Structure 1
Amino acid sequence: MVFDRKDKSNATLLDLYKKLLYPRMVEEKMLILLRQGRIGKWFSGIGQEAIAVGSTLAMNGSEYILPMHRNLGVFTTRNIPLKKLMAQWQGKATGFTKGRDRSFHFGTQEHKIIGMISHLGPQMALADGIALADLIAGREKATLVFTGEGATSEGDFHEAINVAAVWNLPVIFLIENNGYGLSTPINEQFKCAHLVDKAIGYGIEGIQIDGNNILEVYDTLAVISEKMRLDPKPVLVECLTFRMRGHEEASGTKYVPQELFEAWGEKDPVKNFEQFLFELQVLNDDLLLEIRSEFKHEIEKEVEAAFMDAEPEADVNTELQDMYYPNAENPVEATGQATEIRYIDAITDGLKMAMRKHQNLVLMGQDIAEYGGAFKITDGFAAEFGKQRVRNTPICESAIVGAGLGLSINGYKAVVEMQFADFVTCGFNQIVNNLAKTHYRWGEKADVVIRMPTGAGSGAGPFHSQSNEAWFTKTPGLKVVYPAFPYDAKGLLLAAIDDPNPVMYFEHKNLYRSLTGPVPASYYTLEIGKANVLRKGEQLSIITYGVGVHWALTYLNENPQISATLVDLCSLQPWDKTAVLNAVKDTGRVLILHEDTLTSGFGAELSAWIAEHAFQYLDAPVLRCASSDTAIPMNKALEESFLAKSRLASTIDRLLAY
């Protein structure tokens, strides 16, 4: 291994060595504890320390780094106390996640480190969002994100790099090519000769380096990051290294040929750099013994202190509260005259007001800039607010949702438009595993709203018509709203954007231009989780939301002899249990109506809750009126038969017959 010290002083070289040695000694301690049965799991980065340490030192302290399992050197180089890290690994109350997650699955704003989730690739999109915030704000910064050679097979890898390339984002995508994804060797993971060759396909620079050479890693990353701060554009760096231990210790290494261990053992980053410093007389036996003794004492002390820290105390209320970032909802009252406008125009008006109020709000979606979006909701926005804040995106829902979270982490707000709610499947992991769990895991907000043009009725078929709100109502950490009227559409949208938590905002496409209502011109918000009671009656109660509200109103207007309480939930997570309970008490007969399919639709949750909490007030079984348990057909006659509306009258008759 050839080291080029360039103009580094002896003191700098010695400091590099200390930072390289410390995580190695911590790891050696972890392996002892594992054999003693004092810890249960460990992902070893032995042999890869030069990448984590060298790249971290190349970044400014105020710049974000997004590491992975084997990057202990990132955390130690950013001077996170070992006691705090150990508490995290042991699931202690004093850890970063309070015992809620393990290893490096956490973030810390203090140290500008954002940890991974187990799905490996998604943190790359977060780096895009973080870098985008810096770019918009005019901050000369770079962002560093790690990934492994295995994760380069994931769609998240492609999407994140493609977005960064198209948007010229200052992101260093660092691949640790350590030879194996668990037991799968690289020849079974990709066909290209070198992973760095992928860069050319994205039109960006690609650099391959010796990941075991601390000086090569540091110098290369320092040059890249400095250039990137002044001339923002992404770079792909492939660091060649080797995993000297198993994927995690329990998996072992029997699947790896012994000759690989022997060859890479000769390239050990710590031993080679140590020998280099001995040759320069920067290091000697006495000094090395002194350094090791000091580190050993510190590690022993910090580790044992962490073992003494308190275990988390389980409290269900605390756990529930911590799923969401604190948000004191103080609804802003509407003022002034109301004007009759369309449902779609209320959404446009709300977005414009939010963009004017929040200078850090960014809109992202396919075709939303000059074209104005598939439904023209953002028509004219690019001219008023600029393309920095109204951003056309490539067709990559996962990367854009992830970028929204990255924006939030770095001080911005994001609204992401799904062109159709059906397309959210491509961003599902980011929503249910990143957005939804971030605050619970490490206390960070996820200030992202996802607009979901939803619903059937226009003959658009199986892939442009789904009502998929139930996919998200069961995911703790998300909020779900579904306005039925223009007034609510504006007020709930503004409330969702003000809220620092992730909100799924469902808007029915068939209401866009067919429904009008009075909407104040002023800025106002509505409480998320508060239902509207539209009618009070005596014979039955209809609990519904979205287009179901209008089906119910049409039916009741055509059948004035029926006296019904009508509840528009408006929000599905949280939902108004008091309003539902009162509706049950009003009539003793309950019909739950929604456009989604019957099985496991949100109505099932409502029905179960009523049976459990309001059984004594019922005079008949709770009935559900929902759409058929099929995909949504295109043909108009088939679609009308599919929809719950076709069964509303008969279901009401059946309920009233009890």
Structure 2
Amino acid sequence: MNFDRKSLTDDTLIDLYKRILKPRLIEEKMLILIRQGKVSKWFSGIGQEAIACGITAVLDKDEYILPMHRNLGVFTGRDIPLHRLFSQWQGKANGFTKGRDRSFHFGTQEFNIVGMISHLGPQLGVADGIALANKLKKNGKITAVFTGEGATSEGDFHEALNIASVWELPVMFVIENNGYGLSTPTNEQYRCENLADKGIGYGMESHIIDGNNILEVYNKLSELKAEMVANPKPVLLEFKTFRMRGHEEASGTKYVPQELMDMWAIKDPVDNYKKFLTDSGVLSAEKDEEIRAAIKAEIDENWTLVQQEPEIIASYEEELNDVYKPFQYEEVTPSDKIENIRLIDAISQGLKQSMERHPNSVIMGQDIAEYGGAFKITDGFVSQFGKERVINTPICESAVVSAGMGLSINGYKAIVEMQFADFVSTGFNPIVNLLAKSHYRWLENADVVVRMPCGGGTQAGPFHSQTNEAWFTKTPGLKVVYPAFPYDAKGLLNTAINDPNPVMFFEHKQLYRSVYQDVPSDYYTLPFGKAALLNEGKDVTIISFGAGVHWALETLKNNPEISADLLDLRTLQPLDTEAIFASAKKTGKVILLQEDSMFGGVASDISAMIMENCFEYLDGPVKRVSSLDSPIPFTKALEDQYLSKGRFEASLKELLAY
């Protein structure tokens, strides 16, 4: 192994030795503790420490790093107190996730580290968002994100590289090519000669680096970082290395040929660097022993501290309180100036006024800039806010949602427009596994609003007409808003953008240009979790949201003899259970109307809640009316048959006659 010190001082060489030695000695301690049954699980980075340690040494402490579960050197390189790391691994309260996640599945703003999620790919998009925020701030900072050779097959990898290249984001994409994805060798994972070659397809500079040579890592990345600061750009870095232990300790390495293990053992990054320093006269045996003794003492002292920490005591209140970041709703009342506008105009107004109110807000989506979006909601936004804040995206919903999380981490508010709610399926993973879980996992909120043009009635067929709110009401950590009127849409959208938590904001396409209402011209907010009582009666309670509210109003208009409470839920998470239960107890009969298909829909849960909490007040079964349990069709006759609108009146009268 050829070590080239270039112009590095002896002090720098010794500092790099301490950096690479510390995680190795910690790992050796952990392997002993595993055999003693004192540590439950461990993902070893032995053999590839030079990458994490070298990169962390190059980056400033206020530059974000997004490591994987073998990159202990990132955490020790940022000088995180060892007892806090040990507490994290042992599930103690002094860790970073309050015992809710293990090993390296955590992040910390204090040390500018964003931990991995097991789905791997989305963290690359998060790095894009962090880098985009740095570029908007013009602060000259770069971001480094790690992945393995296995994750380069994921779509998120390709989406993230494409976005970074198109937007010229200062991101180091770090591939640790360590030979195996769990047990699958590289020759079963890709066919190109080098993973660095993938950068060519994205117009991205790429390099192959010896991942076991800490000086090569440090020198090359120091050079690249200077270039990226002067001229923001992404780079793809393939580090050739090897994983000397199992995917995790329990899996072992029986699937690895012994000759391969022997070959890479000779290339050990710690032993070889130590030999270079010794041969160069930089490191004496006495100095080496002194360094090792100090690190081992630190490890033992901090491990003892953790053993003295009590086990976590489970608390319902604390667990539930940490699902969302606390949000103090601020009521902003409008002036008396109003105008009669459509739902689509109200949403556009709310977006514009919120972006004026929040200079740190960014909206991203397909065709939303000069074109103004598929529905022209952002028409004219570029001229007011500039292309830095109104950003056309490639067709890559997953990486864009992840980038929204990165923007949030780095101090921005992200608004993501899905061209159609149906297309959110390709961004589903980062919404339900990243945005929704981040605050619960490590108290990092996701300040992201995802706008969802949805719904049928426009003969748009199975790929453009779904109302898929139930995909998200099931997921703790998300808020779900679904207005039916222009006034509500504007006020609730403003609140959604104020809220630091992830919000799925549904906008019914058929209502965009068909529903008018007097709406205040200036900025105002409306609270989440408050249903609107649109009609008061004594015989039955009708509960709906979105287009269903208008279908119910039409039915009541055509049947003036029906005395009904009509509740427009407006938000589905949080849900106004107080209003629901009060009306159910008052009338004794409840019918729920939703546009979505029946099984697993929002109406099913509300029906169960009413049965559990209001059973003794009911004079009949809680009735649900929904669309057919089929995909939504295109032709008008088939769509009319599919939608629940045509079945509501008969079902309502059947319940009244019960």
Does the residue aligned with 1:127 lie in a helix, a strand or coil? helix
Deviation of 1:657 after TM superposition, in Å, equals: 1.5
Q: Which residue does the alignment assign to 1:297?
A: 297
Q: Which residue of 1 aligns with 2:124?
A: 124
In 2, are the aligned partners of 1:94 and 1:310 still within 8 Å (CA)? Answer: no
How far apart, CA to CA, are the structure 2 residues paired with 1:414 and 1:158?
A: 22
Partner of 2:592: 592
The whole-number CA distance in structure 2 between the counterparts of 1:544 and 1:171 is 46
Deviations 1:525-580 (A, max 9, x none): 00011110111101110001011100000000110000000000000001000000
Q: Which residue of 2 aligns with 1:637?
A: 637
Q: CA deviation at 1:283?
A: 1.2
Q: Say yes or no: does 1:150 pair with 2:150.
A: yes
Q: What are the equivalent positions in structure 2 for 1:312-331 lying under 5 Å apart?
A: 312-331=312-331
Whole-Å Cα distance in 2 between the matches of residues 626 and 312 of structure 1? Answer: 45
Once residues 215 and 572 of structure 2 are traced to their aligned partners in structure 1, the CA distance between those partners, rounded to angstroms, is: 55
Q: Distance in 1 between matches of 2:29 and 2:346?
A: 61
Segments of structure 1 that go 5 or more residues without pairing to the other structure are none
- Residue identity opposite 1:578 in structure 2: E
Contact 1:337 1:521 in 2 (8 A): yes
TM-score by length of structure 2 reads 0.99
Where structure 2 has 5 or more consecutive residues not aligned to the other structure, the ranges are none
Counterpart AA for 1:24? R
Match of 2:565 in 1: 565
Q: CA deviation at 1:288?
A: 1.4
- What is the deviation of 1:307? 2.2
Within-5 A mapping of 1:490-509: 490-509=490-509
CA deviation profile, 1:281-321 (whole Å, cap 9, x unmatched): 11122111111111111111111211221222211121111
Give the distance between the partners of 1:532 and 1:647, measured in 2 at CA: 24
Q: In structure 1, the residue corresponding to 2:111 is in which secondary structure?
A: coil
- Deviations for 1:97-136, whole angstroms, at most 9, x for unmatched residues? 0000011111111110000100111100000000000111
Q: Distance in 1 between matches of 2:124 and 2:225?
A: 17
Question: Which amino acid in structure 1 is aligned with residue 411 of structure 2?
Answer: G
Match status 1:626 vs 2:648: no
Runs of at least 4 residues off by over 2 Å: none
How far, CA to CA, are the matches of 1:308 and 1:619 in structure 2?
59
The residue type equivalent to 1:290 in the other structure is: E
Pairwise mapping of residues 206-605 of structure 1 onto structure 2 (< 5 A)? 206-605=206-605
**Percent of residue pairs identical:** 63
- Structure-2 separation of matches of 1:645 and 1:208: 60
Alignment size in residue pairs: 658
In the TM superposition, what is the alpha-carbon distance from 1:336 to its structure 2 partner?
Answer: 2.1
Larger mean CA deviation between 406-415 and 645-654 belongs to 645-654
Amino acid paired to 2:572: L
Task: Give the letter aligned to residue 194 of structure 1.
Answer: N
Report deviation, 1:429.
Answer: 0.5
Determine if the alignment matches structure 1 residue 64 to structure 2 residue 64: yes
Structure 2: which amino acid aligns with 1:608?
A: A
Residues 468-495 of structure 1 deviation map (CA, whole Å, 9 limit, x = unaligned): 0000001000000000100000000000
Q: What is the identity, as a one-letter code, of the residue corresponding to 2:632?
A: I
Partner of 1:96: 96
CA distance in 1, matches of 2:222, 2:510: 54
Quote the offset at 1:330 in angstroms: 2.4
> Given that residues 479 and 504 in structure 1 are in contact (C-alpha distance below 8 angstroms), is that contact kept between their aligned partners in structure 2?
yes
Q: Is the 8 A contact 1:334 1:522 kept in 2?
A: yes
- 2:195 paired residue number: 195
Indicate conservation of the 8 Å contact 1:127/1:143, yes or no: yes
Q: Distance in 2 between matches of 1:304 and 1:160?
A: 42
C-alpha distance in structure 2 between counterparts of 1:509 and 1:473, whole Å:
20
SS in structure 1 at match of 2:110:
coil
Partner of residue 111, structure 1:
111
Q: Is the 8 A contact 1:336 1:522 kept in 2?
A: no
User: How high is the TM-score relative to the length of structure 1?
Assistant: 0.99
| 2:467 counterpart letter in structure 1 | S
Q: CA RMSD, aligned part only?
A: 0.7
Deviation at 1:222, TM superposition (A): 1.1
Residue 23 (1) aligns with residue 26 (2): no
1 CA distance for matches of 2:137 and 2:298?
41
Q: Note the C-alpha offset of 1:29.
A: 0.4
Aligned to 1:42: 42
How far apart are residue 73 of structure 1 and its match? 0.1
